[in-house]
Chain A
Amino acid sequence: MHARVGANDGSAAVQAGGLRGSSIIREILASNIEFVVSVPDITTSEGLLRPLAQAGSPKLIRICKEDEGVGICAGLAHCNKRALLLIQQTGMLDSINAIRGVAVEYALPICMMVGLLEKEPDLRPRESKRYGVRIVEPILDAMGIAYHEIEDDADVSKIRPAIDDAYAASRPVVLLIGRRPTAS
């Protein structure tokens, strides 16, 4: 099954709007996420991770490496606790085997919010000039993992249904953060 649920349409250029961290955090909270598990990522550092760390809820679990987070989220999922793994695409790529085995083959709702390092704000990920960005969506396609592009405030409405669907269907989902969210 093709997994590109709710991604942007085929236009080459993305809408040039703003993306507020507070909008994303509102949707994370509305999704009943109880734990955010994270390795810092420069795209989401100021707009998401820092305010989440200051808020105290959801509970922030700091980890050393992203594949740890896949395991932690799996354990939490078995306890009926919702978690979000907040990482960078480099870490996601480093964790492909954990995602393959634990998220996909075990069919677990591992929800990943992935900052796209150095993605150009005016381009869609697969049109990026950065190899490390361009390959992300084709890899997710090959793995059969659903993903959604979050480029501006209009896209944050995708977050809650994506997370709800992941838990309802017990399958992973990736939310790709394509530009640095502002801190407010």
Chain B
Amino acid sequence: MDSMNFDLATTPLRDLNRFLHQEAEAQGIKHVTVLHPDGAHNIAVGLNAPVAVDIEGHAGYYAAGMLKHGEVTIHGNAGTGVAENMMSGKVHVKGFASVSAGASAHGGLLVVDGDTSLRCGISLKGGDIVVGGSVGSFSGFMAQAGRMVICGNAGDALGDSLYEAVIYVRGTIKSLGADARIEEMTESDYQAVGELLAAAGYSYDPHEFKRVASAKSLYHWNADANQEY
């Protein structure tokens, strides 16, 4: 038997996480189902084993936070900071995600079928985020590396203070953040978007997307540039 169920209505969260950290791989468990999450926080944080975790319901804050190895699917909505600081692996949110989705992720793939709230991909450090719906304001804020694909619309201040991360948007952009600008899509952009959409399971046409990247004018302090500090 390579699956297990954990019912958070009767089992402490600590037991679930400890099992995932210390026992799952050794016991050859490949699949864990979490029942009655009911908005609990920190479900499957620090997962570091080749396990597929299915969360049957809505998760609270930091679901799948600091994921390094494994795959987490949330059959519902996710609270603040889903997949925050993810290193690799995959997180899929079927519903919507709250603020700071994928914050500071270094790698891996976060997919959100619904909308995300503000600050999606804040401080992104190399991970990939694909959002089926729209993203709130300040998404991609200070995003340093990685890619974001937004199939819906983007709110205010998209990519404010952007570094090397690239954001692709299919819908409208309410406003761009400081130092963010729209650039021409190249063949490699279309290819990247195509790959990411396929990985997320969406079938949009990459040619419908715009590229948002950093103008790199904030990289050095410069008195004459009237920069906002």
Verify that A and B bind, or say they do not: no
Residues of chain B touching chain A, judged by Cβ–Cβ distance below 8 Å, are none
Residues of chain A touching chain B, judged by Cβ–Cβ distance below 8 Å, are none
